[in-house]
Amino acid sequence: MKSKILIVLFLLSACISRADSSFLCDFYDHTFDGDPYWLGEIDYFDFEDGWLRGNLTGKAKHASIAVESNIFPEADWAFYYRHECPLNAGCLARVWLAADRINLHNARGYYVEMGGDGVISLKFRGDDETLTLCETQPMLTGESGKVYVEVSRKNNGEWELWVGTKPLWTDKQGSAIHDTWHNCQYTGIYIAATDASERRCHYFDDFYAGGEEETPQGEDIGYQPDDPDDPGHQPDAVEAADGTLLINEIMFHPEQGGQEYIEIINLTDQAIDLTGVTLTTRTSNGKFNTGNIFPEGSYVMPHDVAALTANATLLAQQFGMGQDTTRIFSTRWRQALNNTSQTLFLLNEDKTLCFDSVYYHKNYHHVQVSDDSGVSLERLGTTLPSMERDTWHSAAAPYHGTPGQHNSQHIDTDKEYSDVLRAEPEAFSPDGDGEDDICLLYYNMPKEGYTATIRLFTPTGMLVATIADNALLAQSGYIIWDGRTNKGNTAQIGIYALVMQATHPNGKALKKKIPVVVTGK
């Protein structure tokens, strides 16, 4: 048996933090907003009889929440876990002891897994591997079960896993030495379920972490949030109104150790007060989630941008801005972004006004972006429709993101030409370097109502790309081409023929052929 007097003492309280860098949460107050403060996908968790319960609604098959925590060098963790349906390969739970990011879906670090075969295992996940440090025999088999789990780590990197029925009644299940990773920023809970019957399977209670703190790699321990009471900090700002704000940039899949962020842009000639402005998603029943909220004292200057993230100082350093956080604001990052696709809503404080909504997808990235981690999507122009794929483009090197700065990718949609068809620029280089990556195909029709097919051919007549297929055109406008071919790759360097065939319901037709040049560095 193993005795942990410290844990027993903590069980006398509800959800508290201590000066000795420890916390315990028994979820009795049924809130995520206590101390510690839970971040992440809180809308997929609820409470039942003093237990934290997973509640995967809609199409969600996994979710995670976390607490900011640097507890690591010599530490103890403990928790109750219970399941109310059989565990399997798709129905499991993980308690992350030390993670490098709030999004536990793809974090690095150490965690305890209650797995599909009923085994409880202590694991480490790195960049390219997952190691099992020690594990139990099958203990969580059957329809339901409950265990109390304790994990300890010593300064020399020795780990121990203890499991039992309650505190003071645990047995040592295994130990291991692993001391190659030091970057604890979060402690949290991850759940997964595939079938509807499993979505409320996972329960947690008496979640404890305590021990020494260690500064995570890359963290600025001198970071202090901007002071909203500083008279020189906040300009005279008006309340945001309809048509004043747009989502301008999205970092939904940061690189290892990086942070998610969302940037917005002010379309007006006045500074706008962003206090309470929310970036969020919707549940399956149409309800807005809590989301990520601009803190009091946030603002955005006229025709300027403002980014929201978990730690403004770290983000500025990561993207080569030094200590300049003028246009970046820190918030409690309650809702992690999906790494594949999602619809985001930009709302006012009481969620009665939607300024903008954007659907993003990883496939929106340029074809040359083979790994989208650490690459943001940038808006190409403020007059382009937010929901269309052609509005978004991968941010250019060297940082592949521009939080709090003007976008590296931008096109001028205000130009006007009299030509029936014109490529601007006529020679462009779709290589992702931020210079002439996009080709705008401006057109002018004799009148409204034309439909057009626009194709790109080699000099020998081989079809390379169908840029528009029977598209209904305005009388004048433009179509965006990013250099992508019908095969999904980037067009090779060379001279091409761009052919537009347009017809009108009255039977009139026109055809236009112009050259387009694809260049390189």
SS3 annotation, 3-61: CCHHHHHHCCCCEEEECCCEEEECCCCCCCCCCCCEEECHHHEEEECCEEEECCCCCCC
Q: How many CB atoms lie within 10 A of CB 474?
A: 12
Peptide bond preceding 138 in cis form (omega within 30 of 0): no
Tell me the sheet residues that pair with 418: none
Distance CA 495, CA 482 (A): 16
Report the first-to-last Cα separation within the chain, whole angstroms. Answer: 68
pLDDT for residue 123: 97
Q: By the 8 A CB rule, do 499 and 411 touch?
A: no
Average the pLDDT over 467-478 and give the result: 86
Architecture of domain 238-394: Sandwich (2.60)
Q: What is the pLDDT of residues 111-158, one digit of tens each?
A: 999 998 899 999 999 877 899 999 999 999 999 999 999 999 998 899
Residue 269 pLDDT: 93
Across the chain, which distance is largest between two alpha carbons, in Å?
89
Q: What is the per-residue pLDDT for 414?
A: 61
CATH of domain 5-213: 2.60.120.200
pLDDT in tens, 351-375: 999 999 999 999 888 777 778 899 9
3-class secondary structure, 104: helix
- CATH 2.60.120.200 boundaries in the chain: 5-213
CB-neighbour burial class of residue 272 (10 A; exposed 0-12, middle 13-18, buried 19+): buried
Gap between the Cα atoms of 462 and 493, Å rounded: 15
Cα angle 302, 308, 313 (rounded to 5 degrees) comes to: 105
Residue 315 β-bridge partners: none
Pairwise CA distance, residues 459 & 464, whole Å: 11
Residue 291 structure tokens: 């989301």
Query: Where are the CATH 2.60.40.1260 domain residues in the chain?
Result: 238-394
Give the torsion through C-alpha atoms of 406, 412, 413, 418, to 10 deg. Answer: 170
Question: To the nearest whole number, what is the mean pLDDT of the chain?
Answer: 85
Coil, strand, or helix at residue 214?
coil
Highest mean pLDDT: which range of 92-96, 225-229, 254-258: 92-96
Which range scores top for mean pLDDT: 233-237, 302-306, 328-332? 302-306
Residues 185-217 pLDDT 10s: 889 999 999 888 899 999 999 999 998 876 544
pLDDT for the residue numbered 5: 38
Q: What is the pLDDT of residue 521?
A: 55
Side chain identity, residue 148: Y
Fold of 421-518: Immunoglobulin-like (2.60.40)
Cα dihedral: 38, 41, 43, 49 (round 10): -50
For residue 446, is the peptide bond before it cis, meaning its omega torsion is within 30 degrees of 0?
no
pLDDT of 345 reads 96
Residue (of 420, 428, 419) closest to 516 by Cα position:
428
What's the confidence (pLDDT) of residue 7?
42
Burial class, 350, CB count within 10 angstroms (exposed 0-12 / middle 13-18 / buried 19+):
exposed
pLDDT per residue over 441-458, tens digit each?
Answer: 888 888 888 999 999 999
Kindly report, residue by residue over 65-97, the tens digit of the pLDDT: 998 888 888 999 999 999 999 999 899 999 999
Q: Where are the beta strands (DSSP E) in 92-195?
A: 92-99, 109-114, 120-125, 130-135, 145-153, 158-164, 170-177, 186-192
Residues of the chain with CATH 2.60.40.4070: 421-518
How long a stretch of residues is the chain?
521
* pLDDT at position 461 over 50: yes
